[in-house]
Amino acid sequence: MASIDGAKVAFLVATEGVEQVELTQPWADVKQAGGTPVLLSTQDGTVQGFEHLDKADTFEVDEVVDDVSIDDFDALVLPGGVANPDQLRMHGNAVAFVRDFVESGKPVAAICHAPWSLVEADCVRGRTLTSWPSLQTDIRNAGGTWVDQEVVVDDNGPGPLVTSRKPDDLEAFDRETIALIEKARG
């Protein structure tokens, strides 16, 4: 696995509804590669993880998205879950954070339903990405090209965008995300 020693990676989630494995596996892989993951949310306190529709573990929020800057981070990871990105879409500062991060040119990674946040932030126009299949119409309507692949890396924008479809794709998703962080850090 690539080395991203010292990289600070934001994991942005709502307070409820994140697909737990889509948070915990990339988090562990970022740590294993030498990075520092930071859990951002829309509120202080804890985040409720889910295993599909069942409540799972809770996780302590490190920072509130309203109080941080994209300059504080080297990359952004957007875990999925159905409710998580739907709630993020309703939080103006979270949407602005995603938009600003994409426009900054730093790596952004989104899995499963998380590309809804990219759609809301108007960041898929002219880009090729994948997601959970139910998002394909939203992505196309927002000007993106949807493909059914394990992982897609799109460099057709200010910065690289990594997307994957589902938890089964996490190994490829994490590998490509960490490789892009390493490349971006030079």
Mean pLDDT of the chain: 96
Cβ-based burial of 45 (10 A; exposed 0-12, middle 13-18, buried ≥19): exposed
Helix/strand/coil for 39: strand
Report the DSSP pairing between strands 151-154 and 161-164: antiparallel
Please report, in tens digits, the pLDDT of each residue of the chain (186 residues total).
678 999 999 999 999 999 999 999 999 999 999 999 999 999 999 999 999 999 999 999 999 999 999 999 999 999 999 999 999 999 999 999 999 999 999 999 999 999 999 999 999 999 999 999 999 999 999 999 999 999 999 999 899 999 999 999 999 999 999 999 999 988
What's the pTM value of the predicted model, to 2 decimals? Answer: 0.97
Known active-site residue 112:
yes
- Helix residue ranges per DSSP H, the chain: 20-32, 83-88, 92-104, 115-120, 136-141, 170-184
Query: Which tokens hold the place of 100?
Result: 């600003």
Sign of CA dihedral 20, 23, 26, 27: negative
- Show me where the domains of the chain are located: 8-184
pLDDT recorded at residue 1: 60
Query: Which tokens hold the place of 3?
Result: 């080395």
Quick one: fold of 8-184? Rossmann fold (3.40.50)
DSSP at 167: G
- Which of 112, 135, 139, 180 does the annotation list as catalytic? 112
pLDDT recorded at residue 2: 77
Taking every pair of Cα atoms in the chain, the longest distance, rounded to a whole number of angstroms, is 41
Tally of CA atoms within 13 A in the half-sphere of 104 that contains its CB = 18
pLDDT recorded at residue 97: 98
Residue 130 burial (CB count, 10 A): 28
